[in-house]
Homo-oligomer: A and B are copies of this chain.
Amino acid sequence: MTKIPVGVLGATGIVGQQYIALLADHPWFEVRYAAASPRSAGKKYAEATAGRRHFADHVYTNIGDLVVRDANDVSQAIAAAKAGDCAFVFSALDMGKDEIRSLEEAYAAAGIPVVSNASAHRWTADVPMLIAEVNPDHADIIPIQRKNRGWDKGFIAVKPNCSIQSYMTPIRALLNAGYEVTRLMVTTLQAVSGAGYPGVPSLDIIDNIVPYIGGEEEKSEREPLKILGEVKGNAIESASLPRISAFCNRTPVTDGHIACISLEFGAKKPSIEEVKGIWTAFTALPQELDLPMAPKRPIIVREEADRPQPRKDRDADKAMAVSVGRIRPCNVFDLRFVGLSHNTVRGAAGGGILNAELLKAKGYL
């Protein structure tokens, strides 16, 4: 099969590099267009990333000669699209929210679909915020989005913040099994890669914890509600439950976000064994469609007393699985557990690629 040519916006940043790395051997997609800030524009990819590379060498040799374009200049992407080098783009743009919002719209308006990692459009009413296993049906707002905006081929789909990905799939599985979640308390212990590069200064994090990540708690409390919402009319209507309270901490870990979660259920409450059974058995559309980036089992239940741990579990199943453990009754609510996912793969580039695979399988790409 001929691979679909794709572009990466923000290709030289850490998430952009993660996209390039994960797409290096992808069976469906092939990176043929890379764009970044004007500073990188005109340089070969190898040169533009020199001195700030985060992945294995072959990532940079494979597409090292690709000339990086200016992400602000949509006309270059249009030209590439015409030349058959850019069927859609992954957006890992790193600039002001308003700029990203306009720029992603400009790509979409030009007929180039945007599968985005950025937060700019997460709260745009007709833009789906997708976790492929959790709300794949939200993709079906795309025809409405196109109609709303008069776009024929382009569209925008986003993914949520990395911090919530360690527990949204487990919650979806419980909801599917008929257990309403009314309240949720979460404290995260997040890796430094979540802040990009250079990101967190080492002087702030060696032998230390920073109990604050700007904007992260608000995202953790709001985004789940849109994801658990429904397409109604021209928009996605957020769910009203669960109520969520979040603490987000930065910890001296390279990759892998831990979340400590307590849940309160509605009237119907599962036993601990039921919960484990539900999670172990859970699969969703990406698994049914056997999408290349989909983990075989979206949720891995660990029985050891001291797992999941970032260094030992973050890479499970291509770093795309969510590992859960310490599943037990909560002394205050109903259920407690610890969730873990790889923040730059499952929570960023890998999740974006899986979304694109889903959108392709659904016929939107």
- Picked from B56, B200, B308, B330, the residue with its CB within 8 Å of the CB of A202 is B200
Is A267 at the interface (CB under 8 A from chain B)?
A: no
Does A102 sit within 8 A of B, measured CB to CB?
A: no
Per-position binary interface string of chain A over residues 295-319, scored 1 when its CB falls under 8 Å from any chain B CB and 0 otherwise: 0000000001111111110011000
* Choice from B50, B199, B338 contacting A247 with Cβ under 8 Å: B338
Number of copies: 4
Q: Which of A316-357 contact B (CB under 8 A)?
A: 316, 325-326, 330-333, 336, 338
Residues of chain B within 8 A of A201, CB atoms compared: 197-202
Residue total for A at the interface (Cβ-Cβ under 8 A): 64
Asked if A245 contacts B203 (CB within 8 A), the reply is no
Q: Measured between alpha carbons, how far is A316 from B245 in the docked complex, in Å? A: 29
**Nearest residue in B to A325 (C-beta to C-beta)?**
B211
- Is the pair B260, A184 in contact by a Cβ cutoff of 8 Å? no
A208/B312 contact (C-beta < 8 A), A189-B189, A202-B201 known = yes
Given A203-B54, A245-B331, A332-B243, A211 and B253 touching (CB < 8 A)? no
Contact for A332 among B50, B185, B210, B309, CB less than 8 A: B185
**Contact A306–B212 (Cβ < 8 Å):** yes
Which of A196-230 touch B at CB < 8 Å? 197-212, 214, 221
Are B200 and A51 neighbours in the complex by a CB distance under 8 Å?
no
Asked whether, in the complex, the Cβ of A203 is within 8 Å of the Cβ of B254, the reply is yes
A296 to nearest B CB, angstroms?
12
Known: A202-B192, A202-B252. A309 touches B245 (CB 8 A): no
Given contacts A199-B201, A309-B209, A309-B211, contact A189 B251 (CB under 8 A): yes
Which residues in B have their C-beta under 8 angstroms from that of A262? 185, 245
A205 CA / B50 CA spacing, docked (Å): 18
A16–chain B nearest beta-carbon distance, Å: 15
A249 near B244 with CB under 8 A, answer no
Partner of A244, one of B208, B310, B332: B332
Give CA–CA (A57, B245) in the complex, Å. Answer: 31
Give the docked Cα–Cα distance between A216 and B86 (Å).
45
Given contacts A199-B201, A201-B199, A206-B252, contact A245 B211 (CB under 8 A): no
Q: Evaluate contact between A304 and B50: CB separation under 8 angstroms.
A: yes
Q: A183 at the A/B interface (Cβ < 8 Å)?
A: yes
Q: Say yes or no: is A193 at the interface (Cβ < 8 Å to chain B).
A: yes
Given contacts A211-B338, A306-B212, contact A184 B332 (CB under 8 A): yes
25 CB contacts below 8 A, A to B, read: A54-B312, A56-B315, A56-B316, A187-B187, A193-B203, A197-B203, A200-B201, A202-B202, A202-B205, A203-B254, A206-B254, A207-B253, A207-B254, A208-B311, A211-B308, A211-B338, A214-B305, A243-B331, A244-B331, A245-B262, A245-B331, A247-B326, A249-B258, A251-B252, A254-B311
Q: A200-B203, A249-B260 are in contact. List 14 more A-B contacts (CB 8 A).
A: A51-B305, A183-B332, A192-B206, A199-B203, A202-B204, A204-B309, A206-B206, A210-B306, A211-B307, A211-B308, A212-B326, A244-B331, A247-B338, A251-B251
